[in-house]
């Protein structure tokens, strides 16, 4: 079903242990969401045998997340891009700044009034793009966009895999109310029941 809205844009800072496994901080509001565009790049391998394709493997390689937001404040800019605020409260971006990966969560409203929820487990952002325009006969809003590369996380899930995205639709079979109400209180961790 098509989506008709986008809101509740959050991010969570990541700390890594000596093995590179992620621990997520309590999520914070990133900004008011205007747009979110996620494109995915796959790695593909084809094995040919008996004059035809015998095996095809397509695996997630990376993704690009482009966010259009109302504003990126200095704290969020520092967390996402590595910029710093000087003693006078001025945000300073330097060529040496390197942002650290964060998890990004948001939700999209569906036409039936329910929501689809997302967490992207590891995204590294570049500097926000700014478009400015003078006022003329009418007012045009100029808002920043920020683009990040989405990667799989280092931490294994209960199935021994490296997830890159969690997605759930409110009201689907097997989805508990607690999963939905707690979605933005912490980054969602996959839950699997061990097989006997």
What is the mean predicted confidence (pLDDT) over 86-104? 88
Identify which of 155, 117, 109 has the alpha carbon closest to the alpha carbon of residue 5: 109
Identify whether 164 is part of a domain.
yes
Helix residue ranges per DSSP H, 45-171: 74-81
Boundaries of domain holding 154: 7-180
Identify whether 62 is part of a domain.
yes
Q: What is the pLDDT of residues 130-143, one digit of tens each?
A: 766 677 777 667 78
Are the C-beta atoms of 137 and 34 separated by less than 8 Å? no
Q: What is the pLDDT of residue 74?
A: 86
Identify whether 192 is part of a domain.
no
Identify whether 56 is part of a domain.
yes
Identify whether 171 is part of a domain.
yes
What is the mean predicted confidence (pLDDT) over 162-181? 94
pTM of the entire predicted model:
0.86
Identify whether 188 is part of a domain.
no
Q: How many domains does the chain have?
A: 1
Q: What is the pLDDT of residues 24-59, one digit of tens each?
A: 999 999 999 999 999 999 888 899 988 888 888 888
Q: What is the pLDDT of residue 196?
A: 67
Q: Which residues pair with 126 in a beta bridge?
A: none
Identify whether 191 is part of a domain.
no
182 sits in the region (left: phi over 0; alpha: psi -120 to 50; else beta) called alpha
Identify whether 147 is part of a domain.
yes
């Amino acid at each position: 079903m098509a989506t008709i809205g986008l809101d509740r844009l959050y991010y969570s800072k990541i700390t890594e242990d000596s093995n590179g496994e992620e621990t997520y901080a309590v999520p914070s509001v990133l900004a008011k969401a205007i747009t979110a565009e996620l494109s995915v790049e796959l790695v593909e391998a084809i094995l040919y045998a008996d004059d035809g394709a015998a095996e095809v493997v397509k695996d997630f390689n990376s993704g690009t997340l482009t966010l259009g937001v109302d504003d990126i404040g200095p704290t969020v800019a520092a967390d996402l891009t590595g910029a710093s605020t000087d003693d006078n409260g001025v945000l300073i971006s330097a060529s040496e700044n390197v942002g650290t990966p964060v998890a990004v969560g948001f939700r999209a409203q569906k036409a039936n009034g329910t929501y689809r929820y997302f967490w992207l487990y590891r995204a590294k952002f570049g500097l926000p793009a700014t478009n400015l325009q003078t006022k003329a006969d009418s007012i045009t809003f100029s808002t920043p966009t920020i683009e990040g590369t989405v990667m799989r996380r280092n931490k294994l899930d209960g199935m021994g895999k490296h997830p890159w995205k969690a997605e759930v639709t409110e009201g689907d079979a097997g989805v508990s109310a607690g999963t939905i109400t707690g979605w933005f209180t912490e980054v969602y961790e996959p839950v699997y029941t061990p097989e006997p």
